[in-house]
Amino acid sequence: MQALILGLVLFLGIHSVRIFAEDWRTARRAAMGENAWKGIYSVVSAVGLGLIIWGYGQARQAPVVLWDTPTWTRHFAALLTLLSFVLLVAAYVPRNALKVRLQHPMILGVKVWALSHLLANNTLADLLLFGGFLVWSILCFRSARRREPVATAQAPSAVATSLTVAIGAGAWAVFAMWGHAALIGVRPFVAVAPTS
């Protein structure tokens, strides 16, 4: 569990600098140079992510169950992750309506992903991992909206929006049916027998 906590502190910490210390970040980038700052940022992020993956995997070997999760939460989580995939794709497709309106769809996608997994899972490690990402994404979205108010000058494209939804839904289907089991070892749509 210590590795998971340390990984979350490093990964979410470095990704929270703009939330809590924008002026310090600007000063550090100016003093160190853009490339040096990006290098340190990338290394800390990679180490943090590695510790999160390893620590969460270790914690799953001896789970500390905190509450019972009804079966419906898994179905609701699947629906929410579909929305999450669409929002993540929206960050990269120019002129789609989601990006034009929300401006930061990737952060919202992380928020929806974290919430869905928090609803469907029930261990201490889940609470730390998904709860941590949920709190971070809420704070990050608020901070980003304060820094960059929504601009409505760009007109959304129906084609771009349709493409965003189609790619997001397709990626979600592939990941839900195959990728989640291959990478995480859990099949989202396979019923789990209740533990006694």
In this structure, what token pair is assigned to residue 138?
Answer: 């809420």
Query: Rounded distance, CA 126 to CA 80, Å?
Result: 17
Question: With the C-alpha atoms ordered 179, 184, 186, 189, is the resulting torsion angle positive or negative?
Answer: negative
**pLDDT per residue over 38-75, tens digit each?**
999 999 999 999 999 999 999 999 999 999 888 888 88
- If one counts every other C-beta atom within 10 angstroms of the C-beta of residue 127, the result is 16
Query: Rounded distance, CA 159 to CA 96, Å?
Result: 8
Average pLDDT for 11-18 = 94
- Residue 188: the pLDDT is 78
Decide if pLDDT at 10 tops 90: yes
Query: Rounded distance, CA 145 to CA 101, Å?
Result: 12
Residues 146/130/119/182 CA torsion (nearest 10 deg) = 120
- Residue 193: the pLDDT is 46
**pLDDT per residue over 102-158, tens digit each?**
889 999 999 999 999 999 999 999 999 999 999 999 999 999 888 776 555 678 899
Q: What are phi and psi of 31, to 5 degrees?
A: -75, -40
Decide if pLDDT at 196 tops 60: no
